[in-house]
Chains A and B, each alone.
Chain A
Amino acid sequence: MADVVLPRTLVELFPGAPRRLEVQAPSVGAVIDRLDATYPGMRNRLLDAGPQIRRHLMVYVDQERAGLETPVAAGSEVRIIAAVSGG
């Protein structure tokens, strides 16, 4: 299981969604798909056409900047951050 941390401005769009949750998935893209299965519509909030991670969002896996293909290991931390410039 990976430890996934979501931005406050995202979870407030999905009543009941926690800031931090555990997800089992092999890559960042797969983590997002799992999030979308639990919170329908979350994928569209995170990804733009392409698909690619939206421009003002950043994803880190174990503190390294990550893309959709980046592998996620058991025990990893996946942190999604809304850039300050986005507000």
Chain B
Amino acid sequence: MRVLLLIGTRKGVFVAESDGGREAWRLRGPLTSGTWAFNDVCYRPPAGAAPVGRIYAAGSSNWYGPAVWWSDDLGATWEHSSAGLTYGDAGPAVADAWSLALAPGGETLYAGVDPAGLFRSRDEGATWEHLPALRAHPSRPTWQPTKAGLPLHAILVHPTDPRRLWVAVGAGGVYRSGDGGDSWERLPDAGGPAVLGLALAPGGAADRLYQQSRHGVYRSDDGGASWEDVSAGLPCRHGFPVALHPRDRETAYVVPRDDAPGGGRLAVWRTRDAGGRWERLDRGLPAGPVHTRVLRRGLASDGLEPAGVYLATFSGRLFASPDEGETWRTVAPYLPPILSLTAATVDK
């Protein structure tokens, strides 16, 4: 059993690797070209007899535009494509690839881009088709850019019903589809349209979502049709990421902003009762002031027991907790700015 942290940075993809103990880590990278920035990285477990699965990474180069990259040997060699990842010659030009999601079974891959739109690949990333219904939605004129642009920055696919999708747009709220992206419903805002982190909780009959927005942390137990404010007890309503426990739908992690004069303190906050109470987790994190941020995909969990939780900063420091957030250690201190983080487990 190996645990891989797939790290998308401003200067290429890095991989950190450990055994199931998750105490000692070995870092490799940049494994892609270091002139590309990667906004999202995901892992498709192996199908059939393949020894390892496939890493996908979405990003762009200032020179060469956006593309989705993939590696079938855990990052040693890569291919990439943006065939079809376009709104056509009439534009607008696709500036960046921002988000990835695999449908259950791993045969369909979705990519979100900036300016916001959703694309689908049914041939493992080699070619892409635009799903036009989202950009045709009558609410599109209300979409507003954020400092990050106007990306489609989050895609969620239901783990057992691949027709059910959720996406989040820049400052344009959350949309839900029940038919694989052929039609969309604009869900009500929880606090406002500037959603930053969005996650679908495991298990349960009803679809439970958590979101971190500019306005607070919210939970929905009806697939996003209504939202409950669960920010009470956090030191700040504003943060970027939300990460969930791999099995316990009551447990979620967030990183509230701390802009105290002179520098804030780095801490992860955890709830074990779906947002009723929050506890601060900082054992092993820097005790002194830090001058950095944790971006919307800078927090991740793995699938082991106990679950590992991982924290990555925009100043390029990566932390791991092998015990659900109780204690932390530094995995890598001096990476480029980290834009995304995913944990994968590999049997071989």
Over the window 21-50 of chain B, the binary record of Cβ atoms lying under 8 Å from chain A Cβ atoms (1 yes, 0 no) is 000000000000101000000000000000
- Interface locus among A25-33, A39-47, A64-72: A39-47
Q: Which residues of B contact A83 (CB under 8 A)?
A: 63
Separation of A82 and B65 alpha carbons in the complex (Å): 12
Interface residues of A in 30-87 (CB under 8 A from B): 41, 44-46, 48-51, 54, 56-57, 82-83, 86-87
A49: contacting residue among B64, B80, B83, B94, CB under 8 A: B94
A interface, by DSSP: helix, strand, loop or mixed? Answer: loop
B residues within 8 A CB of A57?
A: 63-64
Q: Are B65 and A13 in contact (CB under 8 A)?
A: no
Contact residue among B65, B77, B88, B90 (Cβ-Cβ distance under 8 Å from A44): B65
User: CA A10 – CA B33 in complex, angstroms?
Assistant: 10
Is there an interface contact between B83 and A41, defined as CB atoms closer than 8 Å?
yes
Closest residue of chain B to A51 (Cβ to Cβ) is B89
Bound-complex Cα distance A9 to B33 (A): 8
Task: Say how far B130's CB is from chain A's closest CB, in angstroms.
Answer: 12
List A contacts of B91 (CB < 8 A).
49-50
Which one of A10, A41, A46 has the greatest number of beta carbons of chain B within 10 Å? Answer: A41
Alpha-carbon separation in the docked complex, A59 to B81 (Å): 23
Instruction: Say yes or no: B82 contacts A49, CB within 8 Å.
Output: no
Q: Is the interface of B mostly helix, strand, loop or mixed?
A: loop
Report whether B35 and A49 are in contact in the complex, using a CB–CB cutoff of 8 Å.
no
B33 to chain A, nearest CB (A): 6
How far is it, in angstroms, between the C-alpha of A82 and the C-alpha of B63 when the chains are bound? 6
Residue on A nearest B35 in the bound complex, by CB: A9
Task: Tell me how many residues of A have a C-beta within 8 Å of chain B.
Answer: 21
B142 interfacial by beta-carbon distance below 8 Å: no
Known contacts A9-B63, A56-B62, A87-B62; A44 and B82 CB within 8 A of each other: yes
* Contacts A49-B87, A49-B93, A50-B89 given; does A13 touch B63 at CB 8 Å: no
In the bound complex, residues from chain A placing their C-beta under 8 Å from that of B81 are: 41, 44
The chain B residue with its CB closest to the CB of A10 is B64
A57 CA to B63 CA, complexed, in Å? 6
- Chain B residues near A10: list those with CB within 8 A: 63-64
Within 8 A of A (CB), among B164-213: none
User: In this assembly, does B262 line the interface, its C-beta being within 8 Å of a C-beta of chain A?
Assistant: no
Query: Looking at the complex, which one of B64, B86, B87, B89 makes contact with A45 (CB distance below 8 Å)?
Result: B64
User: 7 nearest interchain CB pairs?
Assistant: A45-B64, A86-B62, A49-B93, A86-B63, A82-B63, A49-B91, A44-B82
Chain A interface residues (CB < 8 Å from chain B): 7, 9-10, 12-13, 15, 41, 44-46, 48-51, 54, 56-57, 82-83, 86-87
- Can you report 20 A-B residue pairs in the complex whose CB atoms are below 8 A from each other? A7-B63, A9-B33, A41-B80, A41-B82, A44-B67, A44-B81, A44-B85, A45-B64, A45-B67, A46-B64, A48-B65, A49-B88, A54-B63, A54-B64, A54-B65, A57-B63, A57-B64, A86-B63, A87-B35, A87-B62
